[in-house]
Structure 1
Amino acid sequence: MTTWTDVINYVRTRYEVLEEADGWLRFRLDADGDRTQQVSVHHVVDAAAGGAWLEISSPVGWADKIELGRFLELAGTCLVGGAAVVDGVALLKHAVPLTDKSVITEFTRALEMVVAQADTFEGELTDADHF
């Protein structure tokens, strides 16, 4: 079974970790061109939702500075991810169950998709690379 520690170690060996706390990591990935994109992964344990999950989120922009209706339209075109606003930041989010050995593969695919889409949306909605 894959553990939260396995995920932490996987991330540490592949990405620039910016911040780490109990049950949470924030790190940076390279995106297209000279762009980068931040992403957070939270370890969420919820018995009602079936146990442990990895919640992936990547910022798109400050909610008060982007057109939220357009963000929702863009998020509706994604295979993975849902739109959210947390602490004033518009995020693209996705969750993966932390269940077995294939989690790292599933996590990596979802991570790359969420980050690519969030970076594309950030570029379209802000014409900048703040995150």
Structure 2
Amino acid sequence: MTVTSWTDVINYVRRRYEVLEETDSWLRFRLDTEGSRTQQVAVHHVPDVDGRAWLEISSAVGRVDAIDPGRLLELAGSSLVGGAAVVDGVALLKHAVPLEDLSVQEEFERPLTMLVASADSFEHELTATDHF
């Protein structure tokens, strides 16, 4: 059994991506996507009601007042990972994974890159921009 810590995740992200902002409980960083597009993503370290640690991965699609929310829900319904949410007026794709016994490559990196690719594709379709 491998024990993965929040520090392990932070170090993994720092080695691979451009970190834009960091606190004790979350990271915001940028990934390159297709063409010359990029996509910002945030990873939050959050406990559940039993005190077990989770990672919440989220990536913005657009400002909710500038997109068709119904179309976002249709697009999110076709995505293998992540669900649509709105936080502070921003439409997001979000996905959560338990930190305990986490395989960083399979249970963090794969959902991360899949979620980011979907968020970037949805942003492109819904806003025709690369704001996030």
Q: TM-score, with normalisation over the residues of structure 1?
A: 0.96
CA distance 1:22–1:64, change in 2 (3 Å) = same
What residue number does 2:21 align with? 19
Q: How far, CA to CA, are the matches of 1:102 and 1:130 in structure 2?
A: 31
- Structure 1 gaps of 5+ residues are none
Q: How far, CA to CA, are the matches of 1:95 and 1:24 in structure 2?
A: 13
What residue number does 2:63 align with? 62
Q: How far, CA to CA, are the matches of 2:101 and 2:76 in structure 1?
A: 28
Alignment-mate amino acid for residue 76 of structure 1 = G
CA drift of 1:47 comes to: 3.4
Alignment-mate amino acid for residue 39 of structure 1 = V
Tell whether the 8 Å contact from 2:102 to 2:108 is kept in structure 1 after alignment: no
Per-residue CA deviations over 1:47-96 (Å, capped at 9, x if unaligned) read 34x71100000000000000000001100111100000001100000001
CA drift of 1:104 comes to: 4.1
What residue number does 2:91 align with? 90
Aligned length: 130
- CA-atom RMSD, angstroms? 1.1
Say if 2:115 is the partner of 1:120: no
Aligned residues with identical type, % of pairs: 73
Matches within 5 A, 1:104-119: 104-119=105-120
Say if 2:31 is the partner of 1:29: yes
